[in-house]
Structure 1
Amino acid sequence: MADARPRTALESAALDSLFSSARTHNVLGGSIAPETLHALYDLVKWGPTSANQSPARFVFVTSPEAKKKLEPALSEMNRPKSMAAPVTVIIGYDLAFHEKLPYLFPHTDAKSWFEGNDALIRESAFRNGTLQGAYLILAARALGLDVGPLSGFDNAMVDELFFAGTSVKSNFLVNLGVGDDGQLFPRSPRLPFDEAARIV
């Protein structure tokens, strides 16, 4: 049986930019216009989430004042790289995402699936918000940006500083900018198919 490929696969150069040759950058410079951040979100929002929940919330930290506000929440190792990057994105997830389901998933009463079930709300928000954070990484690469995702920070402090009075919790951070290839470490290995996957 032939592979089921009803759509045209991306050219190898595009796959290299998104996956094969893409790297995590610790040294990011340059500048990113607000219009690029809008274009970035306009790609991210189309990535699939369960019942179109779209629970991710993004804070694009760009100004010196906002960077200074974020700095004390970062681990010592992550402060220099995040302060130098033109943009640090706080990827959050909204624990009240189900309130928007009548708009986002209007053909059934999906809101009722979650009301009163805090465990399901948290699990769904975290899972699907994480997916959207991954979409942001790929969308940024598709737009020619380099990325440096990181998780070394005080979530509770970030929540207090940037999400106080809301139902949003922080998940992870992504630095955006133009990477310095000369500062990259040798690429780490990946597991081969037989150690990470199986076909049943």
Structure 2
Amino acid sequence: MTTQYHDQHLSAAALDQIFRDARSYNDWLDKPVSDEQLHAIYDLLKMAPTSANMQPVRIVWVKSDEQKAKLLECVSEGNHDKVKAAPVTAIIGYDIDFHEELPWLFPHTDAKSWFEGDEEGRKEGAFRNSSLQGAYLIIAARAIGLDCGPMSGFDADKVNQTFFADAPRHRVNFICSIGYGDKESIFERSPRPDFDKFNTIV
């Protein structure tokens, strides 16, 4: 069966790079990632959709040896070497009070008022949309030729205290190492389900 796409669909090579051949890496080549590359990742991910353009993600890009040492104290033993070897590890966080930025982020209406007085609703929205933005980060990093290793396995309270002490309304969602993956560090790809396994068209 031939699948028809939009006339401007990405090439097969691009789709391979972002999805089909991309992997989550456990170890990294000794090759740096520049600040310019991190800016390029953010400049792509920020363009993808969030509810009411709330843009709740707050990212700390851990590059320096000093800050990496602090992050290593927060991660599980199983993730220690992954973070230590990575050129950069992004702490993908979110701002519970994202609504304070909505007057300029979503100027079409008084969106700020939708979220005032509802902190639990803001937490839910911020977590959901920062999760989306974390996924966009992975896609953007792959699109510019980098590899990723997203992970949980960390002490969230410790990460918040260490990296968001000056922004107590920020919370960590997950972390993601970024660099040039060592192909020797990955396993065979785990199974992926066919469409009919978990999908229904109604």
Q: Place the TM-score, normalised by the shorter chain, in its bin.
A: over 0.9
User: How high is the TM-score relative to the length of structure 2?
Assistant: 0.95
**Structure 2 counterpart of 1:21:** 21
Q: How does 1:118-197 map to 2 (within 5 A)?
A: 118-166=119-167, 167-197=169-199
1:14-67 CA distances to partner (integer Å, 9 max, x unpaired)?
000111111010011310011111111111110100000000011000000000
Q: How does 1:1-200 map to 2 (within 5 A)?
A: 7-29=7-29, 30-166=31-167, 167-200=169-202
User: How high is the TM-score relative to the length of structure 1?
Assistant: 0.96
SS at match of 2:180: strand
The one-letter amino acid of 1:19's match is: F
The one-letter amino acid of 2:192's match is: R
% identity of equivalent residues = 54
Structure 2 residue runs without a partner (length 5+): none
The one-letter amino acid of 1:60's match is: W
Deviation at 1:6, TM superposition (A): 5.1
Segments of 4+ in structure 1 off by > 6 A? Answer: none
Could you tell me how far apart the structure 2 residues matched to 1:156 and 1:183 are? Answer: 29
Could you tell me how far apart the structure 2 residues matched to 1:169 and 1:39 are? Answer: 24
Structure 1 residue runs without a partner (length 5+): none
Aligned CA RMSD, in angstroms, stands at 1.3
Could you tell me how far apart the structure 1 residues matched to 2:4 and 2:52 are? Answer: 25
Deviation at 1:5, TM superposition (A): 5.5
Q: May I ask how many residue pairs the two structures share in their alignment?
A: 198
Could you tell me how far apart the structure 1 residues matched to 2:130 and 2:19 are? Answer: 21
